[in-house]
Structures are given as structure tokens and as C-alpha cells.
């Protein structure tokens, strides 16, 4: 079938521990529950796209250990193609996630072997050119920029997951069509602490939609000079892990459906809200019917 979305970036096997309160210096907290689940920024976003009916393929690297097989099988079981991913002689990326069970907020500790790096010359140009949209993160940023260049040359829109700021982040932002930022990124890029003013500063270098996720406070989207804001839908949060990644997957779905910008933002926020009511990242992905119930409820 025609490919809708290619995603390039991170996957992860997550060791999740639920705690009765937030971790703090010198604290000794009992573990109330623990589980192993699958996630990672791009892997969770693609799982969301597939759950909503899009044909999705993953580009990235797996380790050659047991965890590499676990995350690959989890993606394939969810309908995400992995034939263009590489297997490296290294342990797969993993994370330890500590969840405050009172609020659902989490602390993430992660490790990624340098041998898992995807190089620009390993990016499959033809796969990207045959898709409707490319989604990238900033983990292997030089490969992400190369992929975005291939997509642009083929006339394909590019969305992003930008959570950290480094020396090449501005180049990544410039290479994508719709950057989707974590809350702290616009200020780090512009030096302007006010998010709305920071987005307007970024508008001087970027003509496309500019989106910022705000966690429990919702999200913002700058369309031209018009700012759209949507509050977070009220839910009883169990685990916020992966909510931003689910937001991006739902955003991509609504963007490809050609929804109006304000409707894209509401749809993505509703999907993120549903994901917060479940444990895990990929395990928290909602269905289209569940998102629609939040929107109409």
C-alpha cells in the first residue's frame, strides 16, 4: 500500500517504576509497581499514526540484543514497517522511567550507545520520496537534516520532534516544514522567555506552522501571525510518558487529513489526553474513536 509517513529517530525499551511520590535527593521510596514497555519519540509517534489508519515505516537503528528484538517486534505488531531500519552491534537504547503515581508526572533516565548513531549516508532517500510526510527528531540530527533535505526535494512536508537545543538545532528547524517544539525550546532558540513572543521571533526565519506542546497546559500553534491555543483536556492522569509523541502522531494524521490548523491542534491535544490515562508510551496510543469521544464529550 502507498506509504503515508516515514519516521526517522529514536526507539526505546522502557523500564517503568511507579512511586508513591516524586524522586528527591536522599529519598528512599518503595516501588509500588514495575513493568517493561516500549517507546521512544519517533517509535511512539509512528505507532500513533498506524493506530489511526496511516501506513507508517520506521527508519533508525536497533541494537543486536534482546531489547532490540523486543522493540522491533512491538513496532511491527502495531503495523509499523521496519525493513529499512538497521541493526547495530550494540545494546538497544533503553530508559528507566520513574512515575509519581499521584500526578502521573515522570522522570526519565536514559542511555544510548554511540554505536547506534544513524549516519546521513544511511538514510533511504527513495523510501522518503515515496511517502506523503516525513517525521524526524533530533537524536541523530545530521541524519535528520539529510532526510529533511531529501523530503523537501521531493515536495514532501516534514514534521519534527524537537526536545533539546544544540549547535545544529537551528539548522534542523530550518529544514522542516512544521516544527513541533517542547515547551522550553523556543526560549532556548531565541532568548525570549515568553513563548508567544518567541514563536513570533521564530516566524521571521520560518514561514510554516509553528507548534509548541505545553504539557498539562495544552498547546500553541502559530499560523501566519494568528496564534491558536488549546487547553489540555481534563483527564485523570495515570502516566504522562509518551503524551507528546502521541500528540505528534495525531497532529500528523489531522494534517494529512487536511484539517484546519485549529482543528489539528484540538485533535492532537485530545489524543495526548487519552494517552495520559494509560501506562506506557506505545501502550498508551488511542484509537480514532477514543479521540473523537474526547472531542465530542
What secondary structure does DSSP assign to 162-225, as a single string?
A: B----TTHHHHHHH-SB-EE-TTHHHHHHS--SHHHHHHHHHTT--S-EEEE-GGG-EEEEETT
Domains and CATH numbers, the chain: 3-10+40-90+120-296 (3.40.1190.20)
Q: Which residue has the cell 538497521?
A: 86
Q: Which residues are bridge partners to 175 per DSSP?
A: none
Q: How many residues does the chain have?
A: 297
φ, ψ dihedrals at 161, nearest 5°: -120, 100
Grid coordinates given for 52: 489511526
User: Digits of tens for pLDDT over the chain (297 positions)?
Assistant: 689 999 999 999 999 999 998 888 888 899 999 999 999 999 999 999 999 999 999 999 999 999 999 999 999 999 999 999 999 999 999 999 898 988 888 888 999 999 999 999 999 999 999 999 999 999 999 999 999 999 999 999 999 999 889 989 999 999 999 999 999 999 999 999 999 999 999 999 999 999 999 988 999 999 999 999 999 999 888 888 889 999 999 999 999 999 999 999 999 999 999 999 998 889 999 999 999 999 997
Q: What is the maximum alpha-carbon separation in the chain?
A: 54
Comparing C-alpha atoms, which of 119, 240, 118, 261 is closest to residue 182?
A: 240
Q: What is the distance between the terminal CA atoms of the chain, rounded to a whole angstrom?
A: 34
Q: Which residue has the cell 542511555?
A: 111
Amino acid at each position: 500500500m502507498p506509504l503515508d509517513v516515514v519516521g526517522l529517530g529514536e526507539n526505546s525499551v522502557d523500564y517503568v517504576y511507579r512511586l508513591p511520590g516524586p524522586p528527591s535527593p536522599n529519598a528512599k521510596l518503595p516501588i509500588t509497581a514495575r513493568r517493561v514497555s516500549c517507546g521512544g519519540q519517533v517509535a511512539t509517534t509512528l505507532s500513533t499514526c498506524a493506530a489511526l489508519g496511516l501506513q507508517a515505516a520506521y527508519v533508525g537503528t536497533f541494537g543486536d540484543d534482546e531489547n532490540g528484538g523486543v522493540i522491533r517486534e512491538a513496532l511491527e505488531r502495531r503495523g509499523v514497517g521496519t525493513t529499512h531500519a538497521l541493526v547495530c552491534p550494540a545494546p538497544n537504547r533503553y530508559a528507566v522511567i520513574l512515575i509519581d503515581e499521584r500526578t502521573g508526572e515522570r522522570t526519565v533516565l536514559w542511555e544510548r550507545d554511540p554505536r547506534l548513531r544513524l549516519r546521513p549516508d544511511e538514510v533511504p532517500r527513495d523510501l522518503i520520496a515515496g511517502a506523503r510526510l516525513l517525521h524526524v527528531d533530533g537524536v541523530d540530527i545530521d541524519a535528520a537534516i539529510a532526510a529533511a533535505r531529501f523530503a523537501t526535494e521531493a515536495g514532501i512536508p516534514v514534521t519534527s520532534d524537537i526536545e533539546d537545543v544544540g549547535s545544529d538545532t537551528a539548522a534542523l528547524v530550518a529544514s522542516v516544514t512544521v516544527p513541533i517544539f517542547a515547551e522550553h525550546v523556543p526560549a532556548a532558540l531565541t532568548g525570549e522567555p515568553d513563548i508567544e513572543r518567541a514563536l513570533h521571533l521564530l516566524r521571521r526565519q520560518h514561514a510554516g506552522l509553528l507548534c509548541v506542546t505545553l504539557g498539562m497546559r495544552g498547546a500553541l500553534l502559530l499560523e501566519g501571525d494568528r496564534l491558536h491555543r488549546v487547553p489540555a483536556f481534563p483527564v485523570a492522569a495515570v502516566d504522562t510518558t509518551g503524551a507528546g509523541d502521541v500528540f505528534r502522531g495525531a497532529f500528523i494524521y489531522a494534517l494529512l487529513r487536511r484539517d484546519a490548523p485549529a482543528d489539528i491542534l484540538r485533535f492532537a491535544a485530545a489524543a495526548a489526553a487519552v494517552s495520559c490515562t494509560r501506562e506506557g508510551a506505545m501502550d498508551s496510543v488511542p484509537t480514532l474513536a477514543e479521540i473523537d469521544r474526547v472531542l465530542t464529550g
